[in-house]
Amino acid sequence: MSRKVVHVVGTGTIGEPLIGLLCDFKEDLGLDEVTFHKNTPLTTDRSKVRSLISRGARLSTHEDKFDGFNAIGLKPELHTEEAIDRASVVIDCTPTGFGHENKHKYYENYLHNTTGFIAQGSEFGFGKMYARGINDSALNHEEDRFIQVVSCNTHNLSTIVKNLALADGEDNLVEGRFTLIRRSNDVSQSSKFVPSPQVGSHKDNDYGTHHARDAALLFNTLDLKLNLFSSAMIVNSQYMHILHFHLKLKEPTTIQKVIARLDSNDLIATTDKVHANEVFSFGRDHGHFGRILNQAVVSIPSLNIRNGTEITGFCFTPQDGNSLFSSIAVTEWLLYPHSYENKIQCLAPFFFDEV
C-alpha cells in the first residue's frame, strides 16, 4: 500500500491548527506522515514552527529560502516541489489568490502521483465545493481531484438551510435571507481590526454577498436550486462570527420541531448563551487547542416562528472549526473513500450537542 502523506501549505489561522490536528490524530486517520510548507522565515513564527515539528510534522520551504530558515535555527527537510511530489493529498491554506497561483504553478504538474488538492474559502473556482455533511454524496472519485472547502460562514449558512428547511423536503425552502455579522480578525491576527462596525456592499445582484452565492453553488452540486440572499458586516470584535437567518418555508413548523431538528444533528450545537465571548470561552476550555468543530452553535433564546412558516434566529460560527473538519473529512475521503466516515470519528470528542 502506498504511504499516506498529507502536506499542508500555509501556517496561518487555518494552516497552523490543521497541521496540529493531523499530527495529533495521525494514527487514527491512517496517515504515515504530515508535512507543511512555511513561506517566510520569521523569528515571530519560529515558536509555532518548532512546536509543529515537535508534534511530528516535517518542514518544507522554497529551496532559495533554506538559508533564511537555517539562519533562524529552523531546518527545512524538503523543498517545495519535493514535498508536493511525495504528498498523497495537499491542503492549501494560503490567502486569497495564492491557492489558484499554486494550482497553476505546481499542483497541476503532480496529478500523476498526488490523489487530490484542497483549497479554502477564498479560492472560488479552485475545484468542487465541499462542506462535510452537506454534499458528501456529490463527491466523485473519478472526477474530483481539486476541491474547495467553503468558508466557515458558508458552512454555517448551509447547515441551517439543510437542517431547518430541506429536511422536510428538497423544495421546502421558499426563501432564505441571511446577515453575516463577522468578527474583524482572528485572535491570531494582528492586522485588519476595524475601529467600529462596518457594513458591507452587495456585490452580487442575485445573492448579495459571496456567502449565499457559495451556499447556492454548494447545493447546486446536489442539483438543488435555492433562493438565497446574504448581507455581511464586520464588527469590532475578535470573537466568533454570528449568522442571523430568516427562512420562509412551504411546510408549517413549530419551535419544538425546530429544536428537535437541531438536537438530532451531530454537527450542530445549541446553546442558551447569547454572548459570543461565552461561546468562544467554551471552545477554549473544551475544544482541541481551543477549537470546537461544530458547524454552527444555534442560540435557542433567539429563535422565533412567525405565521407558522418563517423561522428567524441567530447562530454563532465557531471560528474556523467547521472548515478544519471539512478539510480533514475530504482528505480522508480522497485517501480512504470507503472508510472515511469511520476514520473521522476520532474527532467526535470536539463536537458538542450543547455549548
Ligand X SMILES: NC(=O)c1ccc[n+]([C@@H]2O[C@H](COP(=O)([O-])OP(=O)(O)OC[C@H]3O[C@@H](n4cnc5c(N)ncnc54)[C@H](OP(=O)(O)O)[C@@H]3O)[C@@H](O)[C@H]2O)c1
Binding site for ligand X (CB under 6 A): 9-15, 37-40, 93-95, 98, 120-123, 151-152, 186, 319-320, 323
Nearer Cβ to ligand X (136/186):
186
Nearer Cβ to ligand X (13/184):
13
Q: Calculate ∠ Cα 270-272-278, nearest 5°.
A: 95
Least Å distance between CB 117 and ligand X? 13
Q: Which residues contact 111 (CB under 8 A, 6 or more apart)?
A: 145
Nearer Cβ to ligand X (151/231):
151
What nine digits make up the cell of 111? 496529478
What nine digits make up the cell of 8? 499542508
> Cβ–Cβ contacts within 10 Å for residue 275, how many?
13
Is the CB of residue 140 less than 8 Å from the CB of residue 116? no
Is the CB of residue 304 less than 8 Å from the CB of residue 253? no
Least Å distance between CB 150 and ligand X? 8
Nearer Cβ to ligand X (253/323):
323
Provide the 3-class DSSP secondary structure of residue 264. coil
Nearer Cβ to ligand X (9/262):
9
Q: Which residue number is nearest to ligand X in terms of Cβ?
A: 12
Least Å distance between CB 320 and ligand X? 4
Least Å distance between CB 345 and ligand X? 23
Provide the 3-class DSSP secondary structure of residue 198. strand
DSSP 304: E
To the nearest 10°, report the CA torsion of 72, 73, 78, 83: -70
Provide the 3-class DSSP secondary structure of residue 154. helix
DSSP 288: B
Least Å distance between CB 308 and ligand X? 35
Least Å distance between CB 240 and ligand X? 10
Among 214, 230, 226, residue whose Cα is nearest residue 178: 230
Nearer Cβ to ligand X (126/219):
126
What is the identity of the amino acid at 248? K
Nearer Cβ to ligand X (7/343):
7
What nine digits make up the cell of 6? 498529507
Least Å distance between CB 55 and ligand X? 17
What nine digits make up the cell of 58? 516535517
Helix or strand run (H / E) with residue 211: helix 210-220
